[in-house]
Amino acid sequence: MCLFHYKMLIINLKSQIYLSLLLVNKSIKNRLRYFIELSYNGKAYHGWQNQPNAISVQEVLEKALSTLLRELIEIVGAGRTDAGVHAKQMFAHFDTDVAFSPEDLTYKLNSFLPKDIAIHAIFVVSNNAHARFDAISRSYIYKISLTKNVFDYNYSYNFKLPLDIDVMNKACKVLFEYEDFKCFSRSNTDVKTYNCDIIKAEWVNENEMLIFSITANRFLRNMVRAIVGTMIDVGLEKISIEQFHEILKSKDRKKAGASVPGHALYLTNIEYPNYIVKK
């Protein structure tokens, strides 16, 4: 190859690279981030997060979005619910440069998705908004049925022994005195800290249904179910309030109570700062 042809080849290669970079840059500039608000009945799913050998809510939603938008869509959820756990409100984010009407896509998704997943809204957010890291609080409820109910057995934990709700609420107040909740965390989790700021925790009895409500800035894996299981032991007077203190101080999961079943747990609310919504 002569020197002239070699120089022309280099020039052509540089031109192709330049054009490719222009197209990539244009695509990035046109790419928008969207939040999607949804709810789901967790009975048929092995939790929110993708699993190698089991169906998840994330997998079903990603497939639906990818089909309708005709490009591979990956979503990031606000958190991870365990197998069988429900969500009355969940948020996730995804990026795309495909133009669409949020109202139209919401309608199509609800027609496309199975009946146990519902889409409530899709809206543009700032490009650096993050469904998980920007959430400022999350709320859960856990339902314990004190009577046999043929309509609620799939969605509440039927418990036959009497529970002292007053002492259980005293245990709730103890939670506010601590920030390290390692004793309620699943073992061998990849977290940097076990600290959580619990904002609300209380038990109420509504027509023979005990409902535990809890709100915090973040939760550890299995945390709510472990708290409920330990508070049942408090309500049964198996452990005292003083012992409840000692469990928290121990930071030892083995000292806390057993985790209650996931089918009676609901993620009910996630709060975000107003500034993440793109004006």
Q: Which residues are identified as catalytic?
A: 82
Three-state secondary structure readout of 125-189: ECCCCCCCCCCCEEEEEEEEECCCCCCCCCCCEECCCCCCHHHHHHHHHHHCCCCECHHHCCCCC
Q: At what angle do helices 102-112 and 57-69 cross, to 10 degrees?
A: 120
Give the angle subtended at the CA of 214 by the CAs of 208 and 218, to the nearest 5°. Answer: 155
Strand partners, 122: 36
Return all residues near 120 (Cβ < 8 A) that are at least 6 apart: 37, 38, 39, 89, 106
**Spatial CB neighbours of 68, under 8 Å, sequence gap ≥ 6:** 105, 108, 109, 112
Judge residue 273's burial from the number of C-beta atoms within 10 Å of its C-beta, 0-12 exposed, 13-18 middle, 19 or more buried.
exposed
What is the distance between the alpha carbons of residues 223 and 100, in angstroms, rounded to a whole number? 39
